[in-house]
Structure 1
């Protein structure tokens, strides 16, 4: 399906899109203050359970308004303690969580979203994402694929979670383009956002532009690329030591991390850097103050390495990302299997 056909699909066969607030869900939350995903949020993947509560509280009190969580991160209870301890009202915080692969069946999905809401202590979610377009058999050993449940089945189940007021919006994560199109063809409540890996080393500009054209917001995970120690792709240096980024940072009198995050924000994606250190959390927020020139953005675009850092497809026996610009990393050899 071409981009043009995808757009025409929205124009002539509009689903009950969440781009305008879903009335049933929002009526249960009077006075909701936050209307959309903030440009920067706090990621919680791999965050130490002993530190994530303070990190969350500190971030929210500092000026963050988005917390990105997931059932599989196994720290939602501590993240919730940080939310509760912060000075912000619930209506002023955007809380995202994710449906894990073993919870795609209807009964499992409802149990999982209830558990996330309870652990986070938030009453409802702002966004609930299908974490991967892959279903595992519940309570099975390992990652045994559940071929009885398709992503379309799971999406129908997630639409029911909106109608039941568990979440204001639903979305997707780690989808190939063909899977996005499949959801758009059948949805009655359309995806609000798509969270996937994108950073200067995997820019996927055509894919990002496609989402803009069809009206899906893009949440960029791992926005600082290979700074995460679980990522090992044989690159000569981490992105924060990359001469391009150290040079841009020096020019603008900021850190390399701030510059990289600012690029992600300027291209229209929402970035969710992970940290439990106060200094890093504070520094990351300053990315909102940085702006690149057109020439600088063009130079960054030319430096795309097309290196995907997170692809558990081979381990799971699923060809993920098969229609995206990922020519060097389709083997799926990666440690980042729970992102």
Structure 2
């Protein structure tokens, strides 16, 4: 009898050891979503691209003190330490703020990538990130300018980023500036799949089919719209943005804004949110930061949304592909053309 009990105990122990020793691969199918999805990305955030280092800290502090709970940053913006000072000065509890940063092209190899995310976390003064994005689907050889690293694929980089979630550096990971086929390539292999995709989209580059594709059940990726105000950025107006009228002077948008008793900026941002994207307008001016929140109170009818869809000009403002020697956005509107002028980030 005692011998039988001993065998039973041994069998239970053996089974427990088998379960404990199962490989990560065995659990891959159960991990096919990004973790911690109970905390969702806020629909309105403060962008920090091209924000002056001397102004961004106050802008971030002011935004967080006045209702914002989402800050979009990146290592290559060269102002994350000032952004971090603004976060700290606000006194808002870390758990109440969504913080995004991005992995630059020269940091796609594992050692550089880990050093980069650690630097972003330290500069931003946080213990972890809510979202970490692969900034572009392009790898550069470390410390060799924009020379392409043809030995490091986006899948290799994605595997590294998955480990950042496991190491608690970031709650979520995602991509930025990817073509549809490149997103699909990640979806085909991911264990921890993209939570969000940040890319240029606005009334002059709507890409609504692409936005809607992300919302499909088999994709399930949030869309973050950068440059949501089209060519209001002087960088764009002086280059590709000059192909179209500044959106704040566009007769269609000025008329619609008047009907909504709002500014053009508020109206455009409201459209961006209603169509299913997160918007991250950049500003360092208190007046504009406060006004942008007014977009949360504006709604459009189905008819108005249809009319807006007809104003798509399919003009992309930000495309560094030519200078990098890479064709970007190949299956999207206005892909890289080596015959035209591109804009460097």
TM-score by length of 2: 0.88
> Is 1:249 the equivalent of 2:257?
yes
After the TM superposition, which residues 100-111 of structure 1 pair with which residues of structure 2 at under 5 Å, given as runs? 100-111=104-115
Q: Which is greater in Rg?
A: 2
Answer yes or no: is 1:223 the counterpart of 2:228.
Answer: yes
Once the two structures are superposed, the pairs formed by residues 84-163 of structure 1 within 5 Å of their partners are: 84-140=88-144, 142-163=145-166
**5+ residue gaps, structure 2:** 1-27
Q: Distance in 2 between matches of 1:209 and 1:197?
A: 15
Alignment partner for residue 31 of structure 2, among 1, 8, 16?
A: 16
- Is the Cα contact below 8 Å between 1:171 and 1:192 reproduced in 2? yes
Q: How far off is 1:87 after superposition?
A: 2.8
Residue of structure 2 aligned with 1:172, choices 153, 175, 193: 175
1:304 aligns with 2:307: no
How far did residue 220 of structure 1 move?
0.2
* 1:197 correspondence with 2:200: yes
Structure 1 residues 116 and 253 mapped into 2: Cα distance closer, same or farther (>3 Å)? same
Cα deviation for residue 332 of structure 1 reads 6.3
- Say whether 1:288 aligns with 2:296: yes
Kindly indicate whether the alpha-carbon contact (under 8 Å) linking 1:306 and 1:328 is maintained by their aligned counterparts in 2: no
SS in 2 for 1:230: helix
| Within-5 A mapping of 1:231-270 | 231=236, 232-233=239-240, 234-270=242-278
Unaligned runs of 5+ in 1: 1-12, 23-33
- Summarize the Cα distance change of 1:36–1:226 in structure 2 as closer, same or farther, 3 Å threshold: same
Measured at CA, do residues 84 and 327 of structure 1 come closer, stay the same or move farther in structure 2, by a change above 3 Å? closer
2:53: which partner in 1? 49
Higher relative contact order (CA 8 A, sep 6+): 1
Match of 1:272 among 274, 280, 284: 280
d(CA) in 1 for partners of 2:76, 2:100: 13
Q: What TM-score do the two structures reach when normalised by structure 1?
A: 0.89
Quote the offset at 1:326 in angstroms: 1.9
Corresponding residue of 2:184: 181
Q: Partners of 1:144 and 1:164 in 2: how far apart?
A: 30
* Alignment root-mean-square deviation, CA: 1.5
The structure 2 residue matched to 1:322, chosen from 327, 330, 338, is: 330
The 1-side partners of 2:211 and 2:259 are apart by 27
